[in-house]
């Protein structure tokens, strides 16, 4: 039996922890999405991300990932930050990496929600996921009614845009499901497609990761291809171009989570200091940051590539 009162209380609790939108879906196999994912993989659009091939069955069916799953809870958390750095010519880092590593910050919040569920319901099974398991998070959020998947393949929400993290909690009890189809407000707009300097959005809703600046600066471990010499637009970790030009993001507001704000050392870094950063400085300035994912060698590779193409 679906518990409407419990669902309302849960949503209130989630919002008190800083989550914005909460969508709740019935766990089931995503048969249509399986076909789309298989086609994307066959096209080689996943690049060197071989983990996308692994656990295909788990990725499309949460009941195989989490036996007994009845409910998928999708949660968004704003990370937008319009801070202006002292040196505006410095190499660029995606907004989501300005502060502390979102994996750790949001996993802690999700675990607090699980603790709350256990307090209310007693013995239940639950798992939290923050970009850390084979789960189609954007699709589940779309199914739940939070928003729609835009032409840049990111989840968009009316009035808030796309500058938010996604988290999921899977539980073995039913809840009041919020499933509904959100209106796609992208319309005829193609700004994200037209503005991408590497033409990574090969068709609406279709991304070739091999061309994506975010993939190239983080996931890609080899030397950056010379074909992108004049196309990286000074990005050294991630990329926000397709989000920055999106009209839906015009209403984005600054987040309220202190841990997602940059430290003073990060804010004051100028162009030359970034180009000449050493490993000790890297570890100090980016302590606890998602930027550590690329390691010092990876960030230095990206910096050297950008600098080479400025000379």
pLDDT given for residue 59 in this prediction: 85
Under-70 pLDDT residues of the chain? 1-2, 45, 50-53, 311
Instruction: Give the pLDDT confidence score for residue 156 in this predicted structure.
Output: 97
| Parallel, antiparallel or unpaired: strands 126-129 and 148-149 | unpaired
Predicted confidence (pLDDT) per residue in 68-77, tens digit: 999 999 999 9
11-63, pLDDT tens digit by residue?
A: 999 999 999 999 999 999 998 887 887 787 777 767 777 666 677 788 889 99
pLDDT at 55: 73
Question: Of these residues, 87, 131, 172, 184, which one is catalytic?
Answer: 131
Helix (H) or strand (E) holding 192: helix 191-195
Q: How many CA atoms are closer than 13 Å to the CA of 63, on its beta-carbon side?
A: 9
Q: What per-residue confidence (pLDDT) applies to 43?
A: 74
What is the predicted pLDDT for the residue at 201? 97
Give the model's pLDDT for residue 283: 96
User: Can you give the pLDDT at residue 52?
Assistant: 67
Q: CA nearest 291: which of 92, 46, 152?
A: 92
131 is catalytic: yes
> What DSSP element (H or E) covers 128?
strand 126-129
């Amino acid at each position: 039996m679906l518990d409407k009162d419990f669902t309302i209380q849960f949503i209130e609790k989630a919002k008190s922890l800083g989550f914005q939108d909460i969508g709740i879906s019935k766990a089931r196999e995503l048969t249509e999405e399986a076909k789309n994912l298989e086609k994307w993989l066959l096209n080689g659009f996943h690049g060197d991300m071989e983990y996308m091939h692994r656990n295909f069955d788990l990725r499309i069916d949460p009941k195989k990932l989490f036996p007994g799953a009845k409910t998928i809870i999708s949660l968004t958390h704003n990370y937008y930050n319009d801070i202006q750095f002292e040196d505006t010519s410095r190499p660029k880092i995606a907004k989501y990496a300005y502060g502390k590593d979102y994996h750790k910050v949001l996993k802690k919040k999700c675990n607090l929600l699980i603790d709350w569920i256990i307090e209310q319901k007693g013995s239940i099974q639950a798992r939290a996921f923050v970009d850390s398991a084979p789960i189609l998070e954007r699709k589940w959020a779309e199914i739940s009614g939070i928003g729609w998947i835009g032409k840049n393949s990111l989840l968009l929400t009316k009035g808030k845009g796309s500058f938010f993290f996604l988290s999921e909690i899977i539980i073995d009890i039913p809840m009041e499901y919020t499933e509904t189809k959100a209106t796609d407000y992208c319309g005829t707009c193609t700004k994200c497609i037209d503005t991408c300097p590497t033409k990574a959005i090969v068709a609406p809703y279709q991304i070739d990761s091999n061309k994506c600046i975010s993939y190239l600066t983080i996931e890609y471990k080899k030397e950056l291809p010379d074909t992108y010499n004049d196309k990286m637009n000074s990005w050294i970790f991630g990329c926000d171009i397709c989000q920055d030009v999106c009209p839906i993001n015009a209403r984005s507001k600054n987040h309220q989570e202190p841990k997602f704000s940059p430290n003073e050392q990060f804010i004051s870094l100028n162009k030359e200091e970034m180009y000449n950063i050493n490993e000790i400085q890297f570890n100090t300035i980016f302590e606890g940051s998602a930027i550590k994912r690329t390691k010092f060698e990876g960030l230095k590779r990206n910096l050297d590539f950008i600098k080479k193409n400025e000379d």
